[in-house]
Amino acid sequence: MIDAAMSPGGQSANSDRPAGRPQSGRPRPTVSVLSSDSLSAYAELARRGVCAPPQSALWIEEWVATTGPDGFLAVLEAEGGPACALALEVIRSGPFRIARFMGGRHANGNFPLLVPDATASIEIEAMLPAIRAARPDIDALVLERLLPDLDGLPNPLLRFPHFPSPNLALAANLEGGFDALLSRVSGKRKRKKHRSQMRKFEAAGGFRLIEASTPEEVSRLLDAFFAMKEYRFRNMGIANVFGDVEVQNFFRSLFLDALRENPPPFVLHALEVGGTLRAVTGSARAGKRIVCEFGAIAKDELAHASPGDFLFFENMGKAGRQGFEIFDFSVGDEPYKRLWCEIETRHFDVAVPLTPKGRILAGALQMKAAAKSYVKNSPAMWRLAKMLRRSAAGNQTAQD
């Protein structure tokens, strides 16, 4: 099945209608299987539109190439052509089949591909019948961690029934530059700490800041990051979401191929001290916002010197000099983020049932999100949950 909106003359989920807009004047939705033609058309649309990094053409192309998902494109036409597009994958979750953003838990701060001058005429609900017709096997549309807006545009996916995501997203305001941010967040103390860290790193063999600009640097930084994350998650009793080989291959391809563009839309930074990598971050450039997608530090003899905090200081300073207005720490409320962040963003989740079975799943997901929010918003409950998680991790290590 080829997307009629993106590949003229092909067949779509509503292919019984003549080409062009229906007589009713309603937007025409189409659903297509993934193909090289449809991905090329998606990339062309992305050059005219806006989207969050996990719906960017490069992210979608790399996820498809490295994981081979059961994916499809859903496109909504308005006056003048395609106006909104979703690239989704279908996975099995227990007895259910769900459609979600490509990237799973790695897709955060989500916002669909949107053509700004067509937003007024978008009726996102029209996508649902087309998805049902093209993929009757899908029980529910589950779209998590949605931004409420992007670059002043409201998220059209929030016209579907939605509920708050369990985790906040935090960001630092860089309008006016890095010095302006420091003036608002105890900058004098932060500068003093930064100078102290520099002295410690110099004494430990000297330090170097790295922005990966070659395939060799990308490979080295990601190898170190995956090792750091594996150690941290194992000791916290958390499943390693970066542990799967396909996920690692995806990020390798994403950051490698990003080097072909100037500037790269995805970039790795690192702090090296005494010839050893001590902290690594991976970020996405998205308009006036730079988004820290992930980060990790080495748990070694220099961990007490907070190499991650040092790298964030440098990254934010560089972002301010480059004209970015927001440094987005992405999902997760952590103390080190609170030291910098003045902006709280509540993400939202959408769970739209497409079958009777899907209604059970949608209700369960909403209750699960509410339970997680309750635990994370209760300091005592959250401390207990983390203690139990660490205890379980310790027991598992002892058994191994």
DSSP notation for 106-171: G--SB--EE-GGGGGG--GGGHHHHHHHH-TT--EEEEEEE-SEETTEE-GGGGS-EEEEEEEEEE
Distance CA 154, CA 345 (A): 14
Q: SS3 of 244, please?
A: coil
Mean pLDDT of 202-213: 98
Query: pLDDT tens digit string along 96-132?
Result: 999 999 999 999 999 999 988 766 567 888 899 999 9
pLDDT of residue 397: 40
Evaluate if residue 87 carries a pLDDT over 50.
yes
pLDDT-based confidence at residue 143 (cuts at 50, 70, 90): very high
Token pair 């996820």: residue = 63
Residue 254 tokens read as 């994403």
Provide mean pLDDT across the span 133-142.
95
Whether the per-residue pLDDT at 4 is higher than 70: the answer is no
Residue 66, pLDDT score: 96
Over residues 39-83, the pLDDT tens digits come to 998 999 999 899 999 999 999 999 999 999 999 999 988 776 788
**pLDDT > 90? residue 391:** no
Predicted pLDDT of residue 25? 54
Predicted pLDDT of residue 89: 96
pLDDT for residue 14: 39
26: Cβ contacts below 8 Å, ≥ 6 apart: 123, 126
Is pLDDT larger for residue 107 or for residue 13? 107
**Is the pLDDT reported for residue 400 higher than 80?**
no
> Would you place residue 27 in the very low, low, confident or very high pLDDT band (cuts 50, 70, 90)?
low
Tokens 């839309």 belong to 265
CB 106 within 8 A of CB 178: no
Percent of the chain beyond pLDDT 90? 70
Tens of pLDDT, residue by residue over 320-367, are 999 999 999 999 888 999 999 999 999 999 999 999 999 999 888 888
Residue-by-residue DSSP string for 312-348: HHHHHHHHHHTT-SEEEEEE---HHHHTT--EEEEEE
The residue with greater pLDDT, 35 or 57, is 57
To the nearest whole number, what is the mean pLDDT of the chain? 87
**What pLDDT is recorded for position 384?**
63
Q: What is the mean pLDDT of residues 130-142?
A: 94
Q: What is the sign, positive or negative, of the torsion defined by CA atoms of 33, 39, 41, 43?
A: positive
